[in-house]
Structures are given as structure tokens and as C-alpha cells.
């Protein structure tokens, strides 16, 4: 049907003509109330945004001369970040003459990656950037799956709470 005929039909019925798929051959249009259509579209986008997982970038800095206890404390913190679904930028600082021993920095980096291999993995190999050795850690698929299950479970609890409060 021509666009002129479609517009006439829409006006007669009191609706608006909205192009749903303008690039299709022939273009697909729909007779709808435009205000209601925009409201429902925004509502769907908002709902999709709620379900979307927001990933933050966290950062942890290590020094080359780090004690065992400090190393464990920082790794525990990084583990918490990974378990909550965040990416981590890990920097190893070199100060002064430590730049002559970058190989020890790479050893420390691989030690960190091995210590956290059960919850995360390194996307790229550690790279030397100026006076810092930088690499990124991301959560494993298993960790992300557990996180998603936890969020879904929490979401269902909230829905049940809302329903029970409405009945009272």
C-alpha cells in the first residue's frame, strides 16, 4: 500500500503511522498511538538496562618489594573485586634501580595471576609501560555465572516481598 493511503487510514482511525522497519523492502509501518508507543519503548529499554550487568574497572597497585602478608591482603581484595564481577587493572611499580630488575616484576605478575586463577584470568600478557608493569584481570565464566544466579535469586526475593506487602 502506498504511504499516502496508509496515512489516510491512520488519520481516519485516530492513530499515528510509525515506521517500524524503514530499511526493509517494502518498509514496515504500524498504526499506533505515538505517545503510548514511545512510553512502552522507554519502559522496555529501562527494563533491559536493569538486567544488564554493569562492569566496573578497579585498580590494584603492587610494589616490587612486597612482603608475603601484604601480597596476601592485596590478593584477597582483588579476589573480592573479581567475585563481584569487576575487571581489575594491576600495576606493579618500579622505583629507582628496580627498573634494572624488570624480570622480577614479571615473576611477581605471573605469581599474582596463578594465585587468582580460580576466580579470574589475564586477558593479555603483562606489558612494561614506562616505570610500571601493567596487566588486566577479568572474572572467569564460572564466577560470572554464580554472580548472575545470585542476582536473579535476589531479584526474585524482591518481587516476592513486593507481592506480599501488596496483599497486606
**d(Cα 101, Cα 5) in Å, to the nearest integer?**
78
pTM: 0.61
Q: Going from the N-terminus, what domains does the chain have, and what CATH number goes with each?
A: 3-38 (3.10.20.80), 57-144 (3.30.110.10)
pLDDT tens per residue, range 106-162: 999 999 999 999 999 998 899 998 899 999 999 988 888 888 888 777 766 655 555
pLDDT at 162: 52
pLDDT tens per residue, range 34-46: 888 899 999 999 8
pLDDT at 168: 46
If one compares 78 and 48, the residue with the highest pLDDT of the two is 78
Q: Tell me if residue 128 falls in helix, strand or coil.
A: strand
Give 29-69 as a 3 state SS string: EEEECHHHHHHHHHHHHHHHHHHCCCCCEEEEEEECCCCHH
Amino acid at each position: 500500500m502506498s504511504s499516502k493511503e496508509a496515512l489516510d487510514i491512520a488519520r481516519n482511525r485516530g492513530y499515528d503511522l510509525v515506521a517500524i522497519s524503514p530499511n526493509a523492502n517494502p518498509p514496515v509501518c504500524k498504526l499506533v498511538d505515538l505517545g503510548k508507543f514511545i512510553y512502552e519503548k522507554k519502559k522496555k529499554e529501562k527494563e533491559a538496562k536493569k538486567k544488564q550487568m554493569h562492569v566496573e574497572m578497579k585498580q590494584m597497585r603492587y610494589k616490587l618489594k612486597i612482603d608475603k602478608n601484604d601480597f596476601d591482603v592485596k590478593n584477597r581484595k582483588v579476589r573480592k573485586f573479581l567475585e563481584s564481577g569487576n575487571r581489575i587493572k594491576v600495576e606493579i611499580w618500579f622505583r629507582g634501580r628496580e627498573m634494572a630488575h624488570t624480570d622480577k616484576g614479571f615473576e611477581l605478575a605471573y605469581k599474582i595471576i596463578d594465585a587468582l586463577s580460580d576466580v579470574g584470568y589475564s586477558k593479555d600478557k603483562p606489558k612494561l609501560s614506562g616505570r610500571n608493569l601493567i596487566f588486566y584481570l577479568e572474572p572467569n565464566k564460572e564466577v560470572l555465572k554464580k554472580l548472575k544466579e545470585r542476582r536473579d535469586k535476589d531479584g526474585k526475593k524482591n518481587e516476592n516481598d513486593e507481592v506480599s506487602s501488596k496483599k497486606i
